[in-house]
Amino acid sequence: MEFPIIFWSVVLWMIFWGIVGSIGSRKAYLRKDLDTSNAGYLGAMIGAATGPFGLIALWIKTPKASKGLMIAPPIAAFILLAISFAFADPTNHCVSNGSFVASQISNGIILGILYGFMALGLTLIYSILGVVSFAHGDFYMIGGMAAYYVTVVWFPGINPLVGIGFACISTFALGALFERVFLTPMYDGRIERPVEYGILVTFGLAFTLQYFIAATVGSNPVKAKRYFDFPRIRWPSKEDPWLLKTSRGNMELFDTISISNPRFTAAVVCVMVLLMMIYFLNRTWTGKALRAVSLDRDAAAIAGINPNRMNMLAFALGGMLAALAGALLVQAFSWLPQVGAIPAMRSFVIVVLGGLGSLPGAFVGGIIVGLVESAGTGCVPNPQRAASYIPAYGGIVLLLTLLLRPTGLFGRRFSGGAHGKFG
């Protein structure tokens, strides 16, 4: 960075006015006897974006938190940050090289779709059971392992769809079994503090699964073959007389954006499964029943839905979604028993950012986290340091969300379902 002072002074300025804004606005709203639930968030964002000028206006007018007022300040703050970065470091790739930016954005979106897909399962579980499943990363790992075993070890050369299907079915069964055996005492008041029980018991499951796989498979990394080759069309030549040929490389768009094959296929499948999930949740009886239980358990029970069965379905389905992501990504990454820890942490960040229990929030949150991460990796001057800071970017997003707006982007303020009852 050439002029780091510019960037860091802007950052400090924003943090300072953000803190002032979040504390002051709460007081300003309280003095006028208004709803303070969004005041801290509004104050922090307007303070960060406009400094004292916007804050004074906010404290005088104390407007209602409309949608535009909620969205515009963070965007303005982001633009301010980006401009100061561009001035501080004019030779950085992120500033001077347009194609680099384009490829970072496309990579970020693809990564975000995959993260969002993982988080989808977690948020489904939370919205219905009220449990943050700490075993989510291990379902992801199990899915990858199952797909690897089917396609490489047991039946080499078999259609990868069989492997993916096996991964889904086995984790669905595992999730359902676990829910029946360990989570049922949560529902009928046999346990005093069900939320903590849920955290601890899924924590135990994560521990057991991870070491079980480490003990049976071993700790050496494994990797599956690529499921699918991109077709590539080219003119026939003497050495290469075929018109249509498959290639294993990356997909190149306009010579600038390069997307790796496994990630791209995984992202496409994830989007398709997401559309199926939306159809399932909105158009089928079972899906509607799931949503009904997440809104209000008792009312759903009166309407003839068995909430306990929906709990089982939700936990199994959530685990299956994570496993599906794993089965699709085992062709992209080396697979270890500990591989689930990183995506699990990302999923926690995403579900909190999107709002615990909100399905669209999981996807939007996933894409935001993917973009933040690729910006953080691509733009920080020292690449080695940038890479080792990756876990921190997610952590900062998580902490900021929890401090400023614990309900997340799309969170319901008054949630029903299990978490409303137990919370």
Partner 1 sequence: MTKQQTPLIMGIVIILFFAVFPFVYTGTNYPYVMHIIIAGFYYAILTSSWSMLSGYGGQFSFGHMGFTGIGAYTTALFCHYIYLSPEATNICTEFSIGSQYLVFVNPIGITSSTLVQDCLREALTIWDGSVQVTPMPVWLGIILGIAMGGLFGLLIGLLVLPLRAAYLALFTLGFTEILRAVISSELAITRGQAGLELPMLFENGINLFGKHYDKTDKIPPYFVMFFLLLICLGILYWLAQSKFGLFIRALREDQDAAAALGVNTTKYKIMLFVITSMMAAAAGAFFAHYIGIISPNNLMILQMSLVVSMAVIAGIENIFAAAIGAIIIEFTLEMLRSSFDIPIIGIEVDMTIWRLVVFGALLMITLRLSRNGIIAPIITYFSRGHVAEETVAKRKTSNANEESA
Q: CB-wise, 202 or 261, nearer to partner 1? A: 202
Q: CB-wise, 326 or 355, nearer to partner 1? A: 355
Tokens representing residue 55 in the block: 């804050």
Interface pattern 347-366 for partner 1 (x via CB under 8 A): -xx--x---x----------
Cβ distance 118 to 144 under 8 Å?
no
93-96: long-range contacts at Cβ-Cβ below 8 A with a sequence spacing of 24 or more? Answer: 93/378, 93/379, 94/375, 94/378, 94/379
- Our finding on whether 221 is near partner 1 (CB under 8 A) is no
Q: Given candidates 5, 169, 215, 299, which one binds partner 1 under the rule CB under 8 A?
A: 215
Q: Given candidates 90, 96, 153, 196, which one binds partner 1 under the rule CB under 8 A?
A: 196
Q: Which residue has the tokens 């040929």?
A: 245
Q: Given candidates 251, 341, 371, 404, which one binds partner 1 under the rule CB under 8 A?
A: 341
Q: CB-wise, 53 or 211, nearer to partner 1? A: 211
The CB-side HSE value for 286 (13 A sphere, CA atoms) comes to 10
Binding residues with partner 1: total (CB under 8 A)? 48
- Our finding on whether 177 is near partner 1 (CB under 8 A) is no
Closest distance of CB 392 from partner 1, Å: 4
Closest distance of CB 207 from partner 1, Å: 4
76 C-beta neighbours (distance < 10 Å), count: 16
- Our finding on whether 203 is near partner 1 (CB under 8 A) is yes
Q: Given candidates 112, 361, 394, 417, which one binds partner 1 under the rule CB under 8 A?
A: 394
Tokens representing residue 201 in the block: 């018991």
Tokens representing residue 162 in the block: 């069989």
Tokens representing residue 331 in the block: 């062709």
- Our finding on whether 277 is near partner 1 (CB under 8 A) is no
Closest distance of CB 214 from partner 1, Å: 5
Closest distance of CB 209 from partner 1, Å: 8
Q: CB-wise, 151 or 347, nearer to partner 1? A: 347
Chain centroid to Cα 390, Å, comes to 14
Cβ distance 171 to 139 under 8 Å?
yes
Beta bridge partners of 257: 253
165 C-beta neighbours (distance < 10 Å), count: 16
Closest distance of CB 15 from partner 1, Å: 15
- As a whole number of Å, the end-to-end CA separation of the chain is 47
Q: Given candidates 119, 174, 205, 320, which one binds partner 1 under the rule CB under 8 A?
A: 205
Q: Position 317: which residue type? A: L
Cβ distance 348 to 361 under 8 Å?
no
Q: CB-wise, 168 or 398, nearer to partner 1? A: 398
Q: CB-wise, 190 or 248, nearer to partner 1? A: 190
- Our finding on whether 247 is near partner 1 (CB under 8 A) is no
- Our finding on whether 399 is near partner 1 (CB under 8 A) is yes
Cβ distance 397 to 334 under 8 Å?
no
Classify 336 as helix, strand or coil. Answer: coil
Question: What is the DSSP track for 337-403?
Answer: GGGGHHHHHHHHHHHHHH-TT-HHHHHHHHHHHHHHHHHHHHHSSSHHHHHHTHHHHHHHHHHHHHH
- Our finding on whether 423 is near partner 1 (CB under 8 A) is yes
> E strands of 152-279, at which residues?
230-233, 244-247, 251-253, 257-259
Q: Given candidates 212, 236, 249, 298, which one binds partner 1 under the rule CB under 8 A?
A: 212
Interface pattern 107-146 for partner 1 (x via CB under 8 A): -------------------x----xx--------------
* Ramachandran region, residue 417 (left: φ > 0; alpha: ψ -120 to 50; beta: rest): left
Q: CB-wise, 3 or 211, nearer to partner 1? A: 211
Q: Given candidates 8, 154, 207, 279, which one binds partner 1 under the rule CB under 8 A?
A: 207
Cβ distance 407 to 413 under 8 Å?
yes
List residues near partner 1 by CB under 8 A.
126, 131-132, 181-182, 185, 191, 193, 195-197, 199-201, 203-212, 214-215, 341, 345, 348-349, 352, 356, 385, 388-392, 394-396, 398-399, 402-403, 406, 419, 423
